[in-house]
């Protein structure tokens, strides 16, 4: 009985909820730089440097993801006082998943995240909703995916470029843990309840999809079913790690396998 009391977590609303203006401001600080890199910086570089565009695009995206990690640190440094590991963990829900009914930590709940990650990975491979993306692009031709942003096209230019594999490390870290995931599910989600109430996770999903206007050609298939799962499972179990596992675990492994094969000229 004592153990259950010790592990019981207060699942109430966090203090200092964000206003709508602050939520949108933080969203813009993450989204606008990524959009500028895709729609302004890349065309500028393509016109001036005789380098394969695909090899320039990846470092730019990594820089944008790292910026989100820096932005998260700046925000948390101002909010979390004293700036300790325990206070950070409490602010970001960086704890083991919590039983919604009892408020008790339960490591076995990670099985939900692992199962969701497997299902989502399989869903991505099947690509059943690709027709939505096609219809979306047909409606707005200006957002069609540039050739240099197509991952498969790297197979023609990346053979022997092992530095790309090194660049993949910060890409995965700042995409799935310390960048996108930290900012949207760590910084924003716990502070959105004051504006959006019980639908805060859905609002977080919408903002996350709109943030991807640097790759708008796949927005429909991102929202359904991918982008809503990350905040939903994070909020449901009050654990940052649940969303991070679903968002990045199998996809990160898949990227390393694909990039290794591409660089070796096997794909």
Instruction: Tell me the pLDDT tens digit for each residue of 244-260.
Output: 999 987 777 777 777 78
Mean pLDDT calculated for residue range 60-75: 95
Instruction: Tell me the pLDDT tens digit for each residue of 169-221.
Output: 898 899 899 999 999 999 999 999 999 999 999 999 999 999 999 999 988 88
DSSP 9: -
pLDDT > 90? residue 138 = yes
Domains of the chain, by residue range, sit at 17-96+109-263
Does pTM surpass 0.85? yes
pLDDT band (50, 70, 90) for residue 11: low
pLDDT > 90? residue 18 = yes
| DSSP states of 160-226 | T-THHHHHHHHHHHHHHTTTHHIIIIIIIGGG-HHHHGGGHHHHHHHHHHHHGGGSGGGHHHIIIII
């Amino acid at each position: 009985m004592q153990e259950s009391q010790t592990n019981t977590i207060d699942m109430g609303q966090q203090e200092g909820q964000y206003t709508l203006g602050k939520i949108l401001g933080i969203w813009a600080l993450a989204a606008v730089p990524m959009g500028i890199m895709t729609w302004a910086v890349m065309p500028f570089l393509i016109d001036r440097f005789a380098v394969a565009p695909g090899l320039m695009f990846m470092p730019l995206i990594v820089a944008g993801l790292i910026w989100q990690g820096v932005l998260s640190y700046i925000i948390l440094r101002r909010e979390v006082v004293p700036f300790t590991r325990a206070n950070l963990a409490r602010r970001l829900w960086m704890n083991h998943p919590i039983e919604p009914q009892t408020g008790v930590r339960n490591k076995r709940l990670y099985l939900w995240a692992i199962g969701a990650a497997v299902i989502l990975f399989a869903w991505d491979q099947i690509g059943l909703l690709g027709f939505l993306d096609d219809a979306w692009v047909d409606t707005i031709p200006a957002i069609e995916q540039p050739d240099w942003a197509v991952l498969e096209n790297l197979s023609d230019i990346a053979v022997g470029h092992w530095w790309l594999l090194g660049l993949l490390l910060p890409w995965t870290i700042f995409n799935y843990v310390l960048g996108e995931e930290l900012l949207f599910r760590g910084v924003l989600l716990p502070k959105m309840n004051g504006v959006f109430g019980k639908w805060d996770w859905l609002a977080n999903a919408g903002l996350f999809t709109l943030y991807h206007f640097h790759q708008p050609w796949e927005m429909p298939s991102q929202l359904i079913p991918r982008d809503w799962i990350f905040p939903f499972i994070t909020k449901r179990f009050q654990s940052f790690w649940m969303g991070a596992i679903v968002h990045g675990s199998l996809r990160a492994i898949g990227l390393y396998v694909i990039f290794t094969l591409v660089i070796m000229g096997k794909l």
